[in-house]
Structure 1
Amino acid sequence: MGTFEELVAEGAAVPLEGWDFSWFEGRATEERPPWGYASLVAARLAEVGSALDLQTGGGEVTASAPVLPPLMAATESWPPNAAVAAKNLPFVVRAPDAGPLPFRASAFDLVISRHPVVTPWQEVARVLKPGGTYFSQQIGEGTNRELTEFMMGPQPRGDARGTSRARAEAEAAGLEVLRLEPVSLRVAFFDVGAVVHFLRKVLWTVPGFTVERYRDRLLAMHEHIQAHGEFACTSARFLVEARKPARPSA
Structure 2
Amino acid sequence: MGTFEELVAEGAAVPLEGWDFSWFEGRATEERPPWGYAGLIAARLAVVSSALDLQTGGGEVTASAPVLPPRMVATESWPPNAVVASRRLPLVVRVPDDGPLPFRSGVFDLVISRHPVVTPWEEVARVLKPGGTYFSQQIGAGTNRELTDFMMGPQPVGEARGTPAARAGAEAAGLEVLKLEPVSLRVEFFDVGAVVHFLRKVLWTVPGFTVEGYRDRLLDVHSHIQEHGRFACTSTRFLVEARKY
**Partner in structure 1 of residue 159 of structure 2:** 159
Q: Residue 171 of structure 1 corresponds to which residue in structure 2?
A: 171
Counterpart AA for 1:102: P
Amino acid at match of 1:24: F
When the two chains are superposed, the root-mean-square deviation of aligned CA atoms in Å is 0.4
Q: Distance in 1 between matches of 2:183 and 2:207?
A: 24
SS in 2 for 1:29: strand
- The one-letter amino acid paired with 1:19 is W
Alignment of 1:213-228 (within 5 A): 213-228=213-228
Q: What's the CA shift string for 1:90-145, capped at 9, x where partnerless?
A: 00000000010010100100000000000000000000000000000000001000
- Equivalent AA in structure 2 for residue 52 of structure 1: L
Tell me the equivalent position of 2:62.
62
Q: Secondary structure at the match of 1:44?
A: helix
**TM-score under structure 2 normalisation?**
1.00
After TM superposition, the structure 1 = structure 2 runs for residues 25-174 of structure 1, keeping only pairs within 5 Å, are: 25-174=25-174
Aligned partner of residue 87 in structure 2, secondary structure:
helix
Gaps of 5+ in 2: none
Offset of 1:158 from its aligned partner?
Answer: 1.9
> Which residue in the other structure is 2:2 paired with?
2
Paired amino acid for 1:100: P
Residue-by-residue CA offset, 1:9-49 (whole Å, 9 max, x unaligned): 00000000011000000000000000000000000000000
TM-score (norm 1): 0.98
Distance in 2 (alpha carbons) for counterparts of 1:218 and 1:238: 29
Runs (4+) of structure 1 exceeding 4 A deviation are none
How many residues of Structure 1 are paired with residues of Structure 2 in the alignment?
Answer: 245
